[in-house]
């Protein structure tokens, strides 16, 4: 098979297929063309806006001001960049304990980037791994902006040009993929690196498998007008499954069985949309195996992380019950209507028989005020309950957009967090704090420079 025509790409033991020589198209290449056409449709729909595609056409580049922080050039590709950043940080948190992230070398960061990408591909549990490569034309040169552009690309639709020059390498094991990317790091760092990873994930998992997981949805994974990634795409990158919802397991809504997250994930996900009551993030996402969370605003994804390992511990029974109690107290008043007690007990998997509930209601609302205090509820059902998480800890935040960082420098922002005894949840209009309170209802954070980082 013909190998990529690029001085940066070396020989590999993986098999390869290309669409470039259409006159001598084999059965395997025809199959590849169908898969690529299906992948294109799945990602972009039937019509792709030129400016949306061009916003996604970037490689994985590190910030000159923060060695391990990836830069996002335009709005849109955060659905791929933020998950890669999350897995990259998961690796670094395990390997740089006691060391500064500022001391990382370029070689180390490139190595961790490859490993992060392979973790994402590995989650697909594929029988084989199909790695997409952009095959450069010999005549491609450099524009004044430093991007590789050929005469062919300038004379035709950019996305058609991109698809005509995709080559796919097939590997049996993820270790082979890691070795291939390590030898050919430019695949990830050149102009189409982010898109090539998306295509590799879908081609490895299989278009039919992705469509089956999306089930009831028919919209493309990338919004045709605004260019942002769907929840199905975000979940595919974070978990290896393209389900459309963020709750635990399945829920029946309007007679439909809708699939969510099936297991505790390596890294987590929180969204300000939960505060707005558009969705409910389940425990699997809120309590990941590692203290790293992708944060979602209405339009952008960023990443929160901490070196405090105890933040990734599963909820204690008391923490779970407190979270459920607070879900019935959206104003943050630290009490609920006494009439809601049965629903709280039921949601917390406590005894909820009507006779018992009435007994507890009279006990917890002895003055017949019509409310039940959080403190009284916890003292009754979880006396002496301890937190799994510490009361104070340090958080770090990443936002890949230069314009969203002070001075335009993409760096990690640091904050000192505390879990308060008496939260003032209703008092904040800070989007960052609002988002974090969906995980830690009583949290307050003081950021080092005095301003909360931007979620957008």
Give the residue numbers marked as catalytic: 78, 300
Angle at 20 between CA 45 and CA 40, to 5 degrees: 10
Which structure tokens are listed for 341? Answer: 């007690």
The span from the first CA to the last CA of the chain, in angstroms, equals: 45
Sequence-separated (6 or more) residues with CB below 8 Å from residue 278: none
What is the CB-side half-sphere exposure of residue 428 using CA atoms within 13 A?
Answer: 21
Answer yes or no: are the C-beta atoms of 161 and 153 closer than 8 Å.
Answer: yes
Which structure tokens are listed for 385? Answer: 């309950």
Answer yes or no: are the C-beta atoms of 84 and 78 closer than 8 Å.
Answer: no
Which secondary-structure segment (H or E) carries 359? helix 354-364
Sequence-separated (6 or more) residues with CB below 8 Å from residue 145: none
Bridge partners, residue 293, by sequence:
268, 304
Q: Closest Cα to residue 213, out of 186, 178, 239, 185?
A: 239
Which secondary-structure segment (H or E) carries 415? strand 413-419
DSSP code for 228: P
Q: How far apart are CA 432 and CA 455, in angstroms?
A: 6
Q: How far apart are CA 233 and CA 227, in angstroms?
A: 12
Q: Closest Cα to residue 268, out of 242, 321, 214, 306?
A: 306
What is the CB-side half-sphere exposure of residue 273 using CA atoms within 13 A?
Answer: 17
What is the CB-side half-sphere exposure of residue 169 using CA atoms within 13 A?
Answer: 26
Instruction: Give the gyration radius of the chain's Cα atoms.
Output: 24
For residue 120, the SS3 value is: helix
Answer yes or no: are the C-beta atoms of 85 and 106 closer than 8 Å.
Answer: no
Contacts of 24-33 with CB under 8 Å at 24 or more apart are: 32/168
């Amino acid at each position: 098979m013909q190998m990529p025509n690029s001085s940066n790409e070396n020989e590999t033991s993986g098999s390869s297929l290309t669409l470039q020589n259409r006159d001598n198209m084999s059965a395997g290449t025809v199959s590849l063309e169908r898969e690529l056409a299906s992948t294109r449709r799945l990602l972009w729909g039937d019509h792709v806006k030129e400016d949306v595609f061009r916003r996604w056409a970037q490689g994985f580049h590190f910030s000159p001001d923060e060695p391990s922080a990836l830069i996002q050039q335009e709005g849109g590709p955060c659905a791929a960049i933020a998950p890669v950043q999350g897995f990259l940080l998961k690796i670094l948190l395990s390997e740089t304990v006691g060391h500064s992230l500022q001391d990382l070398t370029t070689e180390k960061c490139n190595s961790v980037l490859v490993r992060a990408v392979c973790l994402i591909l590995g989650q697909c549990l594929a029988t084989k791994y199909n790695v997409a490569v952009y095959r450069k034309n010999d005549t491609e040169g450099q524009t004044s902006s430093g991007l590789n552009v050929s005469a062919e690309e300038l004379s035709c639709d950019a996305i058609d040009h991109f698809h005509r020059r995709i080559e796919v390498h097939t590997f049996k094991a993820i270790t082979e993929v890691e070795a291939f990317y390590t030898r050919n790091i430019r695949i990830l760092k050149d102009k189409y690196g982010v898109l090539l990873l998306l295509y590799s994930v879908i081609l490895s998992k299989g278009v039919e498998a992705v469509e089956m997981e999306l089930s009831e949805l028919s919209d493309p994974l990338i919004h045709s007008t605004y260019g942002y990634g769907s929840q199905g795409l975000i979940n595919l990158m974070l978990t290896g499954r393209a389900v459309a919802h963020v709750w635990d397991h399945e829920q029946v809504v309007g007679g439909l069985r809708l699939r969510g997250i099936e297991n505790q994930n390596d890294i987590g996900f929180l969204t300000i949309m939960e505060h707005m009551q558009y969705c409910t993030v389940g425990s699997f996402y809120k309590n990941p195996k590692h203290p790293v969370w992708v944060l979602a605003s209405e339009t952008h994804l960023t990443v929160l992380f901490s070196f405090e390992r105890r933040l990734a511990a599963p909820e204690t029974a008391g923490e779970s019950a407190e979270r459920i109690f607070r879900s019935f107290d959206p104003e943050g008043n630290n009490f609920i209507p006494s009439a809601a007690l049965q629903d709280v007990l039921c949601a917390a998997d406590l005894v909820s028989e009507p006779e018992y509930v009435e007994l507890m209601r009279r006990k917890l609302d002895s003055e017949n005020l019509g409310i039940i205090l959080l403190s009284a509820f916890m003292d009754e059902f979880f006396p002496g309950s301890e937190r799994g998480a510490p009361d104070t800890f340090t958080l770090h935040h990443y936002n890949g957009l230069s314009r969203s960082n002070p001075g335009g420098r993409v760096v990690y922002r640091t904050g000192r967090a505390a879990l308060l005894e008496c939260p003032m949840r209703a008092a904040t209009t800070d989007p960052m704090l609002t988002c974090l309170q969906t995980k830690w209802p009583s949290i307050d954070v003081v950021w080092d420079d005095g301003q909360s980082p931007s979620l957008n």
